[in-house]
Structures are given as C-alpha cells and as structure tokens.
Homo-oligomer: A and B are copies of this chain.
Amino acid sequence: MTPTAPVPKPHVKTIATVCLSGTLDDKLVAAAHAGFDGIELFEPDLVASTSSPAEIRRRCQDLGLEIVLYQPFRDLDSTDPDQFARNLIRLDRKFDVMAELGVDLILVCSNASADAVADVDQLAAQLREAGDLASRRGTRIAYEALAWGREVDLWQQSWDAVRRADHPAVGLCLDSFHILSRSSTIDELAEVPGDKIFFLQLADAPHKDMDVLQWSRHYRLFPGEGAFDLVDFTASVLRAGYRGPLSLEVFNDVFRQSSPVRTAIDAVRSLGALEAGLDDALPRQRFDAAFVELSVTPTNLAVAESALSALGFTPSATHRSKRVTAWTQSAATILVTVTTDAPEDDSSAIAAIAFDAEDPTGFAASAEGLNVSALPRVVRPGEADLPAVAAPDGVSVFFVSTTSGGLDWRRDFDPVPGADGETGAGITGIDHVSVTAPFDRYDESVLFYRSVLGMRTDEVAEYPGPYGLVRSHLLRADPSGFGVALDGPLLRRGKWTPGVQTPQHVAFVTDDVIATLNALPPDAPILRIPANYYVDLRARLDLTDEFVESLREANVLYDRNAHGEYLHAYTTVIGSQVYFEIIERRGDYRGRPLADAPIRMAAHVAARRGKATTSG
C-alpha cells in the first residue's frame, strides 16, 4: 500500500432507500431525520411512488438530501447484439428519469441471466458503448460484480472489464457484501486508480452457510452488526483513493418491517462507528461493572431482598434521597430501587448497568458522537452527575468511576453502619448481565455495545427454548472482563407465549460454586434441576458417580470443553422476569454452556407452575 493524501472527514453519508420500510416518502423523511446527507434511489421505490421524478427531486432538496445514485440497472450486456441494442434503449430511458431526478450516476450490476457476456473484451466493448451513451447524457456508470453474476461474480472481474472499457464515464461500484461474502481479497485494490472507484456500498452480514443471493436479500446488516470486518475493508477502499460517499445498502427482512425512523438512526450510528473505527477512535477502555440496578415494585421488594440476603449479600449503603439500597458482596453490587412505575405489581427488571472505567466521560462523549441520546437526570446539589444513556434493550447505561470523586456513584449513598462488604457466601463479583433485546432492535443492540462500549462478540449462538428458538450474543471488552449477553427470540413471539417473555439475569462468579451453595440457608431460592439431567450428564461425560451426585445435591449444572469446566446454578425468577446465576469457571472455559439453557428454562416453567399449584 502506498501512502496517499488524508481522506476528507467527515465522510458524506448516504443510504439506499431499500434499507428502510415504508413508502418512498416515509424513507426520505426517515433518512433526513437521522442526518443522512443523501440517498441511493432504489428503482422500485421510484416506480411505486405517486410522486413524479421532478417532485422527488424537490422533496429531496427540501429535506437536504442529495440523490447520489440511481440503482440498479440489471442485465446490460448480452451475447445477442439485438438484445444489447434494446438494453441500450432501456438505459437511455433511465437516463431520462435520472435527468428529471438530477442524479448523474447509475449502478449497473453484472448480468445474472442466460445471455451474460463471458468474453471480457466483448463485455468491455459493450460497457464502452454504454459509456459513450452516458457521456452524451451527462451521466456515469458504476459497474458492480454481483456475487451471483453469471459470468462476472468477483470484483476483480468487474475491474478487468472496466479497465479494458477504458472510458471516463465507466467506473467501479464496490459492494462490501458481494466481495466479503465470497471471501475475496481486496489487496489488488491498491492497483486501481482511486478515481475509477465511482461508488462504495457498505453492508455487513452474519456468517451463513447458504445460497449467497438469499443471504444477500434477507440477512444483510449495517456495518458493525455482523461478522465482516468493515473497518479493514473500507480503509482499503479509502487508501485506494476513493473519495465518494460511504453508502449503506442493506436488504434485511426485519428492517423491512420496522419503523424507518429507528432504522435510519441505527444506520447512521453504524457509519459513525465505522468512521470511529477508521480513526482508531472506538472506545478501548477496560471496565468493570460498578453495579447492576434492579428495580422492583413495593410488593416485590421483600422477595428481592430476601433472595439477595440468602445469596450472601448485605445492605452496604442507602441512597440519601431515593429509595435505593446497595446490596454488596465482595466486588458485586446490586442496587435495589423501589419503583411504583412498573407495568405489573410483581414486576422486577434490570433497570441499569453502571460501567466503572478510568474515563467515564470519554465513554459518554463517544456515545454522544454516535447519536446515542443522553438520559435526562435530576441531580440534586451535592449528588454525583453520572452520564447515562439508554441502550436499545431498554436498560440504562451509566458511566461511573470509583477512582474519580465527581463520578463516583457512592458519594450519593450513606454507608450502612456495621456493613463490612465482606464475602458472605463466596461470591466475588459479576461475570455478566444477560438481557433480552426487543425483536426489532436486536442487531441495533449488538451495535450499541460494540460501538459505545467497544465490546466484541465473544460467542454467537442459537438454542432451543421450550417456547421457541433463541438467538444469543455474548459481548465483552476484554476476554476476562465484564460481559453483556443479548438474548432474543429468533422469530417474533405470537400469542402462545407461556414462558417468561423478556428474561434478564445477573451472573455472579464464585471460586467454588458447590461451597457457595452449601453456605446458603436452606430456604435460598435455588432452582431445582431435574434428576433426568444428571442421569444424562453421567451418560454423556466420564464423571464419577460421587461428583455427579454432589452436583445433583447442590442443583449445579456442569459443562466441560477443551479449555476448562463451567459449573453453575440458578435462582428461581424474582417477580416477573429477573433471576440470578452463580458461576464457577475452571481453567479457561470462555463463553457459556448454552446447551444448559433449555434445562434452566424448563425448570423455571416447572418452578412457576409448582408455585401456582401450591400458592394458588
């Protein structure tokens, strides 16, 4: 790579209308509201619109949106000269529309039909002829290799054709999905003159082992939400000299039916995070969980306090002006806040997670830069003014510091006399917090934790619950640090949903889970694990009868992999959706034993039904 002049910043940010749900006007309003500079106009959105091209042009001008690309034009080249001639007429008619729209760039994608031209010189000659037409009409052509093109399906082939066409009005369109889905290298981009890259389309995607066309049409994601390295990709394109917009083109089944305003805000955030990544400016702070805040209704307070007490927690401090108590055990702190603002009498919820970092204001600044709204707070004189933002999963995220007085949450609390904060039952800290992301905002939630907190996905999985499949991400900023797990239904739930709708839990860590459990009082609300589980465990793994029996007696689930072991127990559900987990990791077992999740879920159902039977 040769060094080039610095890239102008901030980049122009645009979005293809196909990314957003609704009518064309819904899409334009949403894109403008989110702060995009312009749009790629997806032809079917124009064709279905009741506004004329001239009206759309004016509407975009009024909204401050530039139309940077008209797309797509399919199947330009042809082995049949008559067909190619008809295709040029079709192209010319699109130039008429583009003139009315005031857009001078059209996306031509490689031919996926039976008459696609295989010979690169013939293809180049046809592109040159189209380029002549474009020049006469004052437009330009960005030629793109579809990953499923019949003859041209790699960007290198599209470049070969464009290079041979050697026409000022014919350049490349690079689309990250088409390139990264094929695992194509982009090293040769350094040989491509920057001004021959006419357009850059960005899309991320999860790994999928499926037909690439279906993968592309249904599962694309915004940069930072999937498994591709868009920072590296985009940096290569910019190093090659590309100076056009950073433009999003995402086909996604969920986004297609979600609020376009929300989706557009998520989309612009993904480009902000991408820019931060290009500048190496994503957060890299290490952090711990200062506290997790549990909000409970008055009727539920006693159950929550008794559960924490049974797990060895003690009240260590009380808030000076609010009904909040800090329950502490070693490095684990749970704030219990009484709320009267809950949907049900037995509601309990993880209301907040506080991240304890060296530079909390740095986190807050990067969140603001990503259009994450700060939460309004009422701060009384003398109280800590803690920066906080709302995560898409509904949890408030606080940025605090226990080393900087002004941002130390503890200054608002009075210590409970006599509380020593020592270990009660051996719990030493919080391993991770697990929350349920709303169906429409799952990918947005992943992006939030990755971009605002600099976390990375440690584990991505899918597991069967009794009432449907669940998808799951475990995110951490560093492999041994505090984690956030995002779970959510693979399909939006319908009416038949007898399980806990939006489970949340806090996973505590201990050095010896069986000793911890044995230290608990007999009425501790530990979830009973069915005997069948231990029979199967003994059949599956080479464990001694004594060890399996010790697990069974303590209601501990067990897993083992090549790196270590994972022993864990759960409480029953406190109120409507929250429970606790106690974890012991042996060796270097990362991630979570997700095969145990269905066991836990069925046991929670049984505990709930048993409770319903005994207490009505």
Chain A residues within 8 Å of chain B by Cβ, number: 67
Q: Name which residue of chain B comes closest to A47, CB basis.
A: B536
Decide: A493 and B539 in contact? CB cutoff 8 A: no
Does chain B have a CB within 8 A of A466? yes
Q: Is the CB of B496 within 8 A of A539?
A: no
Interface status of A320 (Cβ within 8 A of chain B): no
> Does A466 contact B22, Cβ atoms closer than 8 Å?
yes
Asked if A494 is an interface residue, CB under 8 A from chain B, the answer is yes
Report A353-381 CB contacts with B as 1/0, cut-off 8 Å: 00000000000000000000000000000
Whether, in the assembled complex, A439 has its beta carbon less than 8 Å from a beta carbon of chain B, the answer is yes
> Known: A49-B602, A494-B492. Is A464-B44 also a contact (CB below 8 A)?
yes
Q: Is B542 in contact with A496, judged by CB distance below 8 angstroms? A: no
Contact of A23 among B26, B439, B542, B606 (CB under 8 A): B606
**Is A182's CB within 8 Å of the partner chain B?**
no
Report B-chain residues with C-beta under 8 Å of the C-beta of A603.
Answer: 48, 50
Chain B residues with CB below 8 A from A601, complex form: 48
Q: Which residue of B lies closest to A496 (CB)?
A: B259
The answer to whether A538 has its CB under 8 Å from any CB of chain B is yes
Write out the residue numbers on chain B whose beta carbons fall within 8 Å of the beta carbon of A496: 21, 257-259, 440
Residue interface bits A45-59, CB-to-B below 8 A is 1, else 0: 011111111000000
* Cross-chain pairs A/B with CB under 8 angstroms, 26 sampled: A21-B467, A21-B468, A22-B467, A24-B602, A43-B536, A44-B464, A47-B532, A47-B533, A48-B533, A48-B599, A48-B602, A49-B530, A49-B532, A49-B602, A50-B528, A50-B606, A51-B530, A256-B468, A257-B467, A257-B468, A257-B494, A257-B496, A259-B495, A259-B496, A439-B494, A440-B494
Interface check A605, CB cutoff 8 A: yes
Is A195 in the interface zone, CB < 8 Å from B?
A: no
Q: Is A211 an interface residue (CB 8 A)?
A: yes
Any B CB within 8 A of the CB of A210: yes
Contacts of A539 in B (CB 8 A): 90, 93-94
Q: Which residue of B lies closest to A53 (CB)?
A: B532
Determine whether the beta carbon of B492 is less than 8 Å from that of A491: yes
The A473-514 residues at the B interface (CB cut-off 8 A) are 489-498
In the A-B complex, list the 9 residue pairs whose CB atoms are closest, starting with the nearest.
A257-B468, A48-B602, A93-B539, A210-B210, A209-B211, A259-B496, A492-B492, A50-B606, A50-B530
Question: Nearest residue in B to A22 (C-beta to C-beta)?
Answer: B466
Most buried by B among A90, A211, A218, A536: A536
* Given known A-B contacts A97-B535, A466-B22, A539-B93, A491 and B44 have beta carbons under 8 A apart: no
Do A466 and B47 touch across chains, with their CB atoms under 8 A apart? no
State whether the Cβ of A214 lies closer than 8 Å to any Cβ in chain B.
yes
Q: Which residues in B have their C-beta under 8 angstroms from that of A253?
A: 468-469, 490-491
A560 CB-CB contact with B under 8 Å: no
* Nearest B-chain residue to A528, judged by Cβ: B50
A261-278 contacts to B (CB < 8 Å): none
Query: How far, in angstroms, from A598 to B48 measured CA to CA in the complex?
Result: 7
A531 within 8 Å of B by Cβ? yes
A599 to B97, CA, bound (A): 18
Closest to A212 in B: B209
**A389 on the interface (CB 8 Å rule)?**
no
Asked if A563 is at the interface (CB within 8 A of a chain B CB), the reply is no
